[in-house]
Amino acid sequence: MTLNPVEPTVTLRVPALAEYVDLVRLTLYGIASKLGFLYEEIEDMKVAVSEACNNAVLHAYDGAGQSGMMEIRFYAAERELTIIVKDEGRSFEPAPEGSASPALHGKTLDEIQAGGLGLYLMQALMDEVEVRSENGTEVVLTKRRSRSEEMA
């Protein structure tokens, strides 16, 4: 995935606290609506972005004694929207591609480890997901519009 070297359409820098996740979701809704995404696509993006933000809220700064900040950048292209959620807390190392992840099929909710579904959910809802761990964690989420007509 290659981002245009242009400035982000919108950048938010908010405390990594749960009460700010709704602000991120509302901003995403406004941008995605303006770009002509379908309601279902916007809802998928809202869930994926919430998961990425919640990871920063819950895991990035624990043990630091205080919450840090998270930065959310929205890059609008002609047919896609890329959202980057970045924190400067503890880095996250996802399992390498091709490594066996625990099977979820056939398990009850009680058998699935709490908090272990966020990345899986992001991958299921978005077209591309990339996790970078350098000076914190950066989650890059990309969604392409499914319909071809242009919105005015």
Per-residue pLDDT tens for 3-46? 444 567 899 999 999 999 999 999 999 999 999 999 999 999 99
Q: What is the pTM of this model?
A: 0.77
Domain-located, residue 1: no
CATH number at residue 43: 3.30.565.10
CA distance 64 to 129: 27
The residue among 137 and 101 whose pLDDT is bigger is 137
Q: Would you state the pLDDT for residue 28?
A: 97
Domain-located, residue 19: yes
Domain-located, residue 36: yes
Q: What is the mean pLDDT of the chain?
A: 80
Domain-located, residue 2: no
Q: State the average pLDDT over residues 56-65.
A: 74
CB neighbours of residue 143 within 10 Å: 24
CA distance 44 to 83: 13
Number of domains in the chain: 1
List, edge to edge, every strand of the sheet that includes 80-87: 10-15, 69-76, 80-87, 137-144, 128-132
Domain-located, residue 150: no
Domain-located, residue 23: yes
Residue 62 has pLDDT above 90, yes or no: no
Residue 76 has pLDDT above 80, yes or no: yes
Q: What is the domain range of residue 87?
A: 10-144
Of 58-67, 104-113, 115-124, the range with the lowest mean pLDDT is 104-113
